[in-house]
Structure 1
């Protein structure tokens, strides 16, 4: 999608994240990845595994210079 068609501005990033698909059982392993960008519409990251659009994910984000934040549901 070109930048002209975007509803939100994407902020380029380059930090490490970990993600897993939500299964609510805690059986999924977190996969390391690189966060490429953040916008009001979502996040862009690299994944070695293809996912369906709309897949619910748990994402662990470490912000350099900050303590680790954790939000669970």
Structure 2
């Protein structure tokens, strides 16, 4: 199973993202496509990918709903 859209760089996961990823793996998730909501999160997504190469697939971009912020 692949989670095709998640926000693991959201502040809600700041303290336990590694545990969240481990629980997902134990539940059968093979990969997660991690999407930033803001451009300011791009580096965090890439850092998470570097730390979890076997799991995190980065999807760098900004949702059109955020266009007013750019």
**TM-score interval w.r.t. the shorter chain?**
under 0.3
- TM (norm. structure 1) is 0.24
Structure number with higher helix proportion: 2
Structure number with higher strand proportion: 1
